[in-house]
Amino acid sequence: MVVGAIVVLLLLAGGWYYLSSSQTPSEVMEEEQDAMMDDDAAMMDGTELKTMEDGTMMEADVDASMKGEASFRSAVIAGSSSPLLEFDQRDYTAALESDRVVVLYFYASWCPICKAEFEDTKAAFDAVTDDSIVGFRVHFNDSATTPEMEALAREYGVPYQHTKVFTKNGERVLKSPETWSIERYLSEFTKYSK
């Protein structure tokens, strides 16, 4: 009986709060739609909203390349001037449209060869001091593989994981399934970035 009374009180309190709210549900929905439209408009004009540590929002440049630096939205795995990134279709498309060498590393999380070689891959990107290269880790036949990644593997005829594909000016210039050392990575970077 006491539990029933508490439930009734909670329902009444919730109803009172809802009724005393200054906005109707349709007003709340309109506000949310306006916020989404503002976000979309900001993305189209070269800015995006960033959440600050205190929860406030501020606009930030999306296209930092106008300031002479590349701007990518995907997670950086290694490197700074020439980053190695988690694959993101938008970033990949932007990289193809740039004058950079694009490196694709087809990686499987279950593959011991990939895990060992990827340490050299990261070290090579960390060693590059110019912005002539951008790399992407593309998951291949593992739980993180997306349809875009599968399509990319088909496009370049990648038969299995730890395959590297280099493109320059939109054309494939190298495809290699061998395991590479950091020295081989740096040699290939130098060869194709000139």
pLDDT tens sequence across 126-181: 999 999 999 999 999 999 999 999 999 999 999 999 999 999 998 999 999 999 99
Detail the DSSP E strand segments found in the chain: 47-51, 57-61, 76-78, 84-86, 101-107, 133-139, 164-168, 171-176
CA distance 63 to 36: 20
CA distance 91 to 85: 9
CA distance 191 to 181: 15
Identify whether residues 89 and 142 lie together within a single domain: yes
DSSP state of 109: T
Is this model's pTM higher than 0.85 or not?
no
Q: pLDDT tens digits, residue range 37-56?
A: 444 444 444 444 444 444 44
pLDDT given for residue 4 in this prediction: 57
Identify whether residues 85 and 56 lie together within a single domain: no
Determine the structural domain holding residue 14 and report its residue range.
Answer: 2-61
Identify whether residues 107 and 46 lie together within a single domain: no
Identify whether residues 92 and 171 lie together within a single domain: yes
pLDDT given for residue 43 in this prediction: 43
Partner residues linked to 104 by β-bridges: 136, 165
Identify whether residues 57 and 79 lie together within a single domain: no
Backbone angles phi, psi at 83, to 5 degrees: -80, 155
Q: pLDDT tens digits, residue range 61-109?
A: 434 433 334 578 899 999 999 999 999 999 999 999 999 999 999 999 9
CA distance 189 to 184: 8
pLDDT given for residue 39 in this prediction: 46
- Half-sphere exposure for 128 (CA within 13 Å, toward CB): 28
